[in-house]
Amino acid sequence: MNKIKVTPYMPTELEVKKLDENVAEVQAYPFENGFAITLAHPLRRLLFSSSVGYAPIGLKIEGVTHEFDSIRGMLEDVAFFIINLKNIRFKINDENTNRVVINYTFTGPKELKGSDLQNSDVSVVNPDSYLATLNEDAELNFSVIIEKGIGYVASEDVRDELDPGYIALDAFFTPVRKAVYDIEKVLVEDNPNYEKIVFTIETDGQIDPVDAFKNSIMAMNEQLSVFNKIMDSDFQTGANTQENSSEISKLLQSIDTLKLSVRSSNCLERAGLKYIGELAIMSEGELKAIKNLGKKSLEEIIEKMKEIDFPVGMELSEDTLNLLSKKIEELKSKEEE
């Protein structure tokens, strides 16, 4: 007879093996029945979509105006040259740099490979990858923009970022070539229905496969963190939660966003008022009582608050008012630290 539980079984075992330079296997177990696939499937998707890689996004070739052109003395047309270039997997040597522009000059006769494109700025993780063949009369001058990114970005989405003369390229950033998982049965206390996840990850060499798996775990945790808000005692339930959250966010904006005159701004600053919400919860009489606030400044503030749909003296629910007051206090306390 199965034991009655009040919490699911917590997996405890993790095994990581490097099967090859760019291939790793990750095993985790034991999971309750059905839990393994619940975790494995989104992790697999995140492996492809969250791992950082590098790709060429723009190409400029001297004497070439479009991708269907040809180059004197080069065996390949520009279209085939682009295909071969996108198959070369670059890596920016400085991890803190997101984009580099590399200029190349080659003369024939020569067979160009990925290794010919390496320099102090970029490495090529597949140096034997073929690029083009030049005859003895050829001279090839071109520039490539290498970018750091995730996932896939279509050429039309980067075209506006490029200088004139550049051909926009579809960018395949993801360095993960393969990410597959198997769900196996494992025995726990005579129960054969527990599960094991066996992941196999292969990358192109731009990133270590174990690091790619770590990235997917981090991405999952970051995406799930939005639900941590529900643990906050101040979190409001009900249909108006999103609306109230948006309202609070706007009320916590700096008074500077109202773009008041210098005289009005200085007057409010001297009064210790910094946030739009502080003005919204004041009555017109309280606002008028602020020292040295003249009639024109008063009218300006009232008009500006109306324009953003938070009139002076607006009525707020008790929950919203309490939360707003608390958040303002917290912000001011941090500023004083």
Q: Per-residue pLDDT for the chain (337 aa), expressed as one digit of tens each?
A: 457 778 888 999 999 999 999 999 999 999 999 999 999 999 999 999 999 999 999 999 999 988 899 999 999 999 999 999 999 999 999 989 999 999 999 998 999 999 999 999 999 999 999 999 999 999 999 999 999 999 999 999 999 889 999 999 999 999 999 999 999 999 988 889 999 999 999 999 999 999 999 999 999 998 888 887 777 655 555 545 555 667 788 888 889 888 898 888 888 988 889 888 888 888 888 888 888 888 888 999 999 888 888 888 887 777 778 888 888 888 887 776 6
Flag whether the pTM goes above 0.75. Answer: no
Backbone angles phi, psi at 202, to 5 degrees: -125, 130
Report in angstroms the alpha-carbon separations of 294 from 73, 84, 265, 311.
79, 71, 12, 19
**What tokens appear for 318 in the block?**
């008790």
Q: What 8-state DSSP symbol labels residue 63?
A: T
56 dihedral zone (left: phi>0; alpha: psi -120 to 50; beta): beta
CB of 152 closer than 8 Å to CB of 175: no
pLDDT confidence of residue 337: 60
Q: Using an 8 Å Cβ cutoff, are 175 and 53 in contact?
A: yes
Name the token pair of 206.
């731009």
Map out the domains of the chain with their CATH numbers: 13-51+176-230 (3.30.1360.10), 52-172 (2.170.120.12), 240-336 (1.10.150.20)
Residues 297-333 as b/e (b if ≥16 CB within 10 A, e otherwise) read: bbebbbebbeeeebebeeebeeebeebbeebbeeeee
